[in-house]
Structure 1
Amino acid sequence: MAQTGEEAAEEADATTDRMPLNVGDTGYGSVPGPGLSGSVGASETAPLLIPEPEPEPVQQWQPLTKEELEVAAGGLGWRRVRCYLVVLFWLSWVAMLATSVAIIAVSPRPVVTPLKWWQKSLFYQLQPDLVMEAQAEGSGGINVLCEQLPYLRSLGIGALILEGVFDKDMSPLDVTATSESLGSLPQIQHLLTESNKAGLKVVLDFCEVDLDVAGNEPSSAVVQHTLRFWLEQGVAGFAICDTDAAYSEKTLLEWRGVFREFSSQEEERIVVVKQTRDVPRPLNNSSQINKTLVDVVMRSILPSSHHLLSAQEVADAIETNLQTREDDIWPSWTVGGKASHDLKKLLLVLMMTLPGSPAVQHDEDIGQTQNVSLNVGSSHGETNEPSDTHPDKKAKRSSLALFTSLSRSRATEEALLYGSFTFLPFNTSANSSSSSSNSTLASPSSPTILAFLRSWGCVHFLILLNVGPELHALDPAWAPSLPEAGVFVTSTGMDRLGSTSLYTLELRPHEAIVIKLFEAGSYS
């Protein structure tokens, strides 16, 4: 029976619904996908996602155990390595030690010479006029002076040269015959006792006093008795002039024999000779013995004069003394001559920085400052104004500050105690056509500028002195071997502080400057 078209279509749909997905090789479900097998049933069993291959296991690093480490360290290879390292360490250490020793051996180094107490001391010349001004009634002057001894010691003064104990027309052979201006013998003994308590040495001045030693043995024996008496009172030494009869080999040898009875390594007794001539009268013996007989030669920076010396005369005197120093006898410097008030501070700086022991006179700026404290009046509390004072208190404080600064620098800086001395030629840039001479004060018209260097090892102190009344700047080519930079230690105006450069420094009129030099970038 024939089928209609609709019946045929329905039968075809039903047949399609009953057909399996993977019928035949070319059926719907048999189409192989990419990378899949085309066999029957392969599409059903193949995984939908392809798994990635698992990474191979990586061996983790682990430290050796204690047992494994002990086994490995005990091996022959490690023993050799350790042996080589130990040998290398000791060879390096020995090489560094040898290099250090070689550097120290070849490097120039200063040799410290132990200084005696009188080589380190600052002397203070105490004249009877000062005590007479300080006296209010009777013996008050000595008592007031004794009260001021700790003050003098605090300023850095180490020894007193007590002048005027004996009048020139009196002989000290009578130990009780002391000058009336200083009081009786018990008062002088009290002053010596209080000085020793304050840590101040005392030197008695016999200068220009007739000791009557030029004759006979009995007179010499009496003099030795007199020396023993004062040495028993605690006197540290005696001062004579180079014009005295006692300045002779025979007399000083006798004095040395007496000194040995009272001297020790710490308390050595000394002989101070005040130089009054241009050249001291030599003793009738070799210079080697003369060196042992005289401990200190006190020299004046300025020549004696009845008038105030000009700036050029002061500069000439300073230059002469700086260039004619003797190294075999220990010097002590004092001003001596007369100079203007403006130059007193400059001369104080010069004395405190020269090799040797400075001797400050009581009539200098520092002495005038001390007069204010010494002149305290009577027991009723009255005060006496000193006749010669500074214009104002500021000037007095400046003088005292300058003295204290110099004293402390000299006591703490080895270069100012032990250091070598070098006198420097000087040029300035002021008045370029006339002031650039090759040496200091080469002509009368040259600037009154002086300079010297104190050196100890690698430490250098530069001292500049402008004696003249004009302002001067340093020539950059003045001393090319010196370090350019430095730091101010002190100055006469006490107004220079901090670091400075020699190329920009200007010296004011009548100014003295102390500079500690150092290499650029170093502050040691």
Structure 2
Amino acid sequence: MEQSDKEAAEETDRTTDRMPLNAGDAGYGSVPGPGLSGGVGGSETAPLLIPEPEPEPAQSWRPLSKEELEVAAGGPGWRKVRCYLVVLFWLTWVALLATSIAIIAISPRPVATPLEWWQKSLFYQLRPDLYMEAQAEGSEGINVLCEQLPYLRSLGIGALILEGLFDKEVSPLNLTSVGESLGTLPQIQHLLTESNKAGLKVVLNFCELDLDVAGNRPSDLSAMHALRFWLEQGVAGFAICDTDAAYSEKTLLEWRGVFKEFSGQEEERIVVVKQTQDILPPLSNSNQNNTTLVDVVMKSILPSSHHLLSAQEVASAIETHLQTRDNLIWPSWTVGGKASHDLKKLLLVLMMTLPGSPAVQYDEEINQMQNLSLNAGSSHGEKNEPSDAPIDKKAKQLAVALFTSLSHSRAREEALLFGNFTFLPFNASTNSSSSSSFNSTLTSPPSPTLLAFLRSWGCVHFLVLLNVGPERHALDPAWAPSLPEAGVFVASTGMDRLGSTSLYTLELQPHEAIIIKLFEAGSYS
């Protein structure tokens, strides 16, 4: 019995030795629970919950030490490199700044010369007696002119040249010798006061008056006392002719001595000389004093004539003045001669764009009273039919618009005020049709009645085109290849040119003048 039990135990040990270690996978041993794998990790001895890892202890922020910074920056050698780079940066920046300043300093640029009031003003020649005769009946003499002064200032007029205040038989140095049609001396003084209030300078015209008779009659004051009297009334200057006895070095030096007494006031007093001859006579024994004794020389564009000048004569006179300009004394341009009504606006554009100060004669088309009385004149049934009134009214409105546009453009544009002047000759002989000037066809010869000039200041250019003739002409810009092709209209005699234009497509109408502000492609300066 004992031996059988011993044999059974040995058999059991041999069976156990033959069993694999992973017998649990064959279904022996513990049964894995739901959701658990049957591997070793899924046995009952494995933990059911995996504990979360404990967070690492937070490290508090602290700045790096000097040694740590040097190590992080690459060592002490990098510090010197960075210092050198910073110094090199600032040296380069200073060098660029100095180079820019040097380029700006040595670059050619126009320098604006400060202008006196008479160099910036538009003169308006006016005879008060004729002005009042042109008004409606019932006017109160010179008060009518005083009421129009603010309107004249709004047109851009800066100074009035009053003519016909004194009789030729009586010296203007007799202060009570004002023309009877103008009223009394207090009324003239009132006109001067109102002119100064309106911002208009006043120049008295002594032209063709004998200024030497003052000392021959006891009732007359001396010439110097008379000048002081008018200067005290606010007169800004005096106008004489180059044929007057006062046009002499001795007389003008005496006048300058009187002007110095009023030099402490706001504006300078001037002497205007009307040039009646082809060449201005030099002052005796002192050619260099012309620039100081005479401030303005008023020149006529057209020669004096008893008949209307033809288009060819007008073009020839304009071209002569454009080519022979006197730069010694500040010029003031006026029409002077007689031209057709069609050329009236063209000559106005010419005067407003020439270097110098324009002097415009009294014009009924820009007279405010005339514009307001258009409808009233037709109601009297005089010489115009009612159908003509709107046409006249429109023409006067265009005349005022042209005058205002020209005066304001001249006042705000430096190129038109004191810019450089370049005459563009169209009559240069050429055999090439591609280099022809204004032509109705490419093969036609240059027209002598077509003129142009350029006013420039810096990078701003104004092209003035004048078609004096009665024919229409297209522009071939090959005559001036250096000019920009594109531009914008500033003004025209018909006030019907607006917006941008190209010189390749431009066509001038008969008796038309055009002002174009040129600009490079992509530029709008």
Assess if the C-alpha contact under 8 Å between 1:429 and 1:473 holds in 2: yes
Secondary structure of 2:191's match?
helix
Query: Aligned partners of 1:228, 1:469: CA distance in 2, in Å?
Result: 51
Query: Aligned partners of 2:416, 2:25: CA distance in 1, in Å?
Result: 108
Query: Aligned partners of 1:338, 1:515: CA distance in 2, in Å?
Result: 27
The correspondence of residues 135-146 of structure 1 with structure 2, limited to 5 A, is 136-137=137-138, 140-146=140-146
Q: CA deviation at 1:384?
A: 12
Whether 1:432 and 2:442 are equivalent positions in the alignment is: yes
Q: CA deviation at 1:373?
A: 5.4
Name the residue aligned to 2:93.
Answer: 93
Secondary structure of 1:477's match?
helix
Query: Aligned partners of 1:365, 1:353: CA distance in 2, in Å?
Result: 20
| C-alpha distance after superposition, 1:127-172 (max 9, x if no partner) | 13112323744x7121111111111111111100000010112211
Q: CA deviation at 1:504?
A: 1.3
Query: Aligned partners of 2:122, 2:60: CA distance in 1, in Å?
Result: 76
Name the residue aligned to 2:487.
Answer: 486
| C-alpha distance after superposition, 1:107-146 (max 9, x if no partner) | 1111111101000000010113112323744x71211111
Structure 2's unaligned 5+ residue stretches are 1-14, 27-36, 42-58, 427-436
Whether 1:68 and 2:64 are equivalent positions in the alignment is: yes
Query: Aligned partners of 1:142, 1:50: CA distance in 2, in Å?
Result: 128
Closer, same or farther: CA 231–351 of 1 in aligned 2, 3 Å: same
Closer, same or farther: CA 70–314 of 1 in aligned 2, 3 Å: farther
Name the residue aligned to 2:130.
Answer: 129
Secondary structure of 1:325's match?
coil
Q: CA deviation at 1:265?
A: 6.8
Assess if the C-alpha contact under 8 Å between 1:486 and 1:500 holds in 2: yes
Assess if the C-alpha contact under 8 Å between 1:272 and 1:295 holds in 2: yes
Closer, same or farther: CA 23–428 of 1 in aligned 2, 3 Å: farther
One-letter amino acid of the structure 1 residue matched with residue 259 of structure 2: F
Name the residue aligned to 2:162.
Answer: 162
Q: CA deviation at 1:283?
A: 1.1
Assess if the C-alpha contact under 8 Å between 1:133 and 1:375 holds in 2: no
Whether 1:41 and 2:41 are equivalent positions in the alignment is: no
- Matched residues, number: 467
Name the residue aligned to 2:402.
Answer: 402
Name the residue aligned to 1:55.
Answer: none
Query: Aligned partners of 2:119, 2:249: CA distance in 1, in Å?
Result: 23
Q: CA deviation at 1:286?
A: 3.0
Name the residue aligned to 2:9.
Answer: none
Assess if the C-alpha contact under 8 Å between 2:215 and 2:221 holds in 1: no
Query: Aligned partners of 2:61, 2:475: CA distance in 1, in Å?
Result: 76
Secondary structure of 1:168's match?
coil
Assess if the C-alpha contact under 8 Å between 1:150 and 1:198 holds in 2: yes
Q: CA deviation at 1:232?
A: 1.0
One-letter amino acid of the structure 1 residue matched with residue 21 of structure 2: G
Whether 1:201 and 2:201 are equivalent positions in the alignment is: yes
Assess if the C-alpha contact under 8 Å between 1:375 and 1:383 holds in 2: no
The correspondence of residues 22-421 of structure 1 with structure 2, limited to 5 A, is 40-41=20-21, 67-68=63-64, 73=69, 76-77=76-77, 79-127=79-127, 128-134=129-135, 136-137=137-138, 140-212=140-212, 222-264=222-264, 266-363=266-363, 365-366=365-366, 369-372=367-370, 391-421=391-421
Query: Aligned partners of 2:204, 2:326: CA distance in 1, in Å?
Result: 25
Query: Aligned partners of 2:17, 2:60: CA distance in 1, in Å?
Result: 66
Query: Aligned partners of 1:210, 1:490: CA distance in 2, in Å?
Result: 43
One-letter amino acid of the structure 2 residue matched with residue 255 of structure 1: W
Closer, same or farther: CA 473–503 of 1 in aligned 2, 3 Å: same
One-letter amino acid of the structure 2 residue matched with residue 429 of structure 1: N
Closer, same or farther: CA 83–386 of 1 in aligned 2, 3 Å: farther
One-letter amino acid of the structure 2 residue matched with residue 517 of structure 1: L
Name the residue aligned to 1:523.
Answer: 524
Closer, same or farther: CA 384–401 of 1 in aligned 2, 3 Å: farther
Q: CA deviation at 1:342?
A: 1.4
Query: Aligned partners of 1:479, 1:329: CA distance in 2, in Å?
Result: 30
Assess if the C-alpha contact under 8 Å between 1:161 and 1:203 holds in 2: yes
Q: CA deviation at 1:383?
A: 10
| C-alpha distance after superposition, 1:74-130 (max 9, x if no partner) | 663563354234313312321221121122122111111110100000001011311
Secondary structure of 2:299's match?
strand
Q: CA deviation at 1:214?
A: 11
Query: Aligned partners of 2:102, 2:189: CA distance in 1, in Å?
Result: 58
Question: Under a length normalisation based on structure 2, what TM-score does the superposition of the two structures give?
Answer: 0.81
| C-alpha distance after superposition, 1:243-292 (max 9, x if no partner) | 11111111111111111111347311111011111111221133320111
Assess if the C-alpha contact under 8 Å between 1:297 and 1:330 holds in 2: yes
Query: Aligned partners of 2:238, 2:25: CA distance in 1, in Å?
Result: 131
Assess if the C-alpha contact under 8 Å between 2:214 and 2:222 holds in 1: no
Assess if the C-alpha contact under 8 Å between 2:160 and 2:200 holds in 1: yes
Name the residue aligned to 1:17.
Answer: none
Structure 1's unaligned 5+ residue stretches are 1-21, 31-39, 52-62, 438-445
Question: Which deviates the most, 74-83 or 484-493?
Answer: 74-83
Closer, same or farther: CA 135–246 of 1 in aligned 2, 3 Å: farther
Name the residue aligned to 1:14.
Answer: none
One-letter amino acid of the structure 2 residue matched with residue 504 of structure 1: T
